[in-house]
Amino acid sequence: MAMLSERQTEIIDTSIEIIANKGIQGLTIKNLAKEIGISEPAIYRHFSSKSDILIHILDNFKQMASFMGDMMQSNSSPALDKIEFMFSRIIEIFMETPSYLSVIFSEEIFKNNETLQQKVVEIMNHNEATIEQIIKQGQENGEIRDDIDGISLALIVMGSLRFKVKQWDLRNTNSGLQEEGQNLIENLKKLLQPINQ
């Protein structure tokens, strides 16, 4: 994917803010132009449509997921440490940019557009595959319980994070996010440890 210009990055960041505050229906080229303080034609010089902007937003999230997956693959730490690192990094990202909360785990807002829905599915599959791979490796190394299959454990781990993120999003505040996130991580690690430990 080509590097985005400074203006394109501003348009994407502002779009995410608008979605977070007003929902997907609030994201219009008119609202976007007004929020940034430029004309509507100026937006169209950078993106061909609202869908084009949304595709770029999802591509950014996909790049983040790919980067995280690659990092985990090249990391030789124990499986539980990898999962803790991944979760901690995701929580940090949400604390730095709370508006991501309203977009990254709100797949339903993209349901009416097949292209966008496909991109969301790719991101979800990538994240799931990363967690599954970490768990499978951990089971082979005796670091993670093997009395439950890796796919089910990955689902439990991902589902817990997603549910917690949804709670934060609905509360409309990220206060307590770090403590609650750390508590969730610690409990998931206990759940994943081999039962004889």
HSE toward the beta carbon, residue 128, CA cutoff 13 A? 13
Q: What integer pLDDT is reported at residue 87 of this predicted model?
A: 87
Instruction: Specify the pLDDT at position 173.
Output: 63
Q: Distance between CA atoms of 4 and 122, rounded to whole angstroms?
A: 21
Q: What is the pLDDT of residue 192?
A: 95
Q: Kindly state the tokens that stand for 134.
A: 């970490």
What percentage of the chain reaches a pLDDT higher than 70? 94
67 vs 94 pLDDT, higher one: 67
Mind listing the pLDDT tens digit for each residue in 117-136? 888 888 888 888 999 999 99
pLDDT for residue 64: 85
pLDDT for the residue numbered 106: 67
Contact (CB, 8 A) for 79 and 135: yes
Rounded to an integer, what distance in angstroms lies between the CA atom of residue 60 and that of residue 11?
13
Write out pLDDT tens, residues 14-54: 999 898 888 888 899 999 999 999 999 999 999 999 989 98
b/e sequence 39-60, b meaning 16+ C-beta within 10 Å: eeeebeebbeebeebbbbbbbb
pLDDT tens by residue, 88-109: 888 888 778 777 777 776 667 7
Of 18, 154, 146, the C-alpha closest to 86 is: 154
Domains, the chain, with CATH or none = 50-192 (1.10.357.10)
Rounded CA-CA distance 24/93 in Å is 21
135 vs 154: CA distance, rounded Å: 7
When comparing pLDDT for 51 and 169, which is higher?
A: 51
Is residue 134 within 8 A of residue 79, CB to CB? The reply is yes
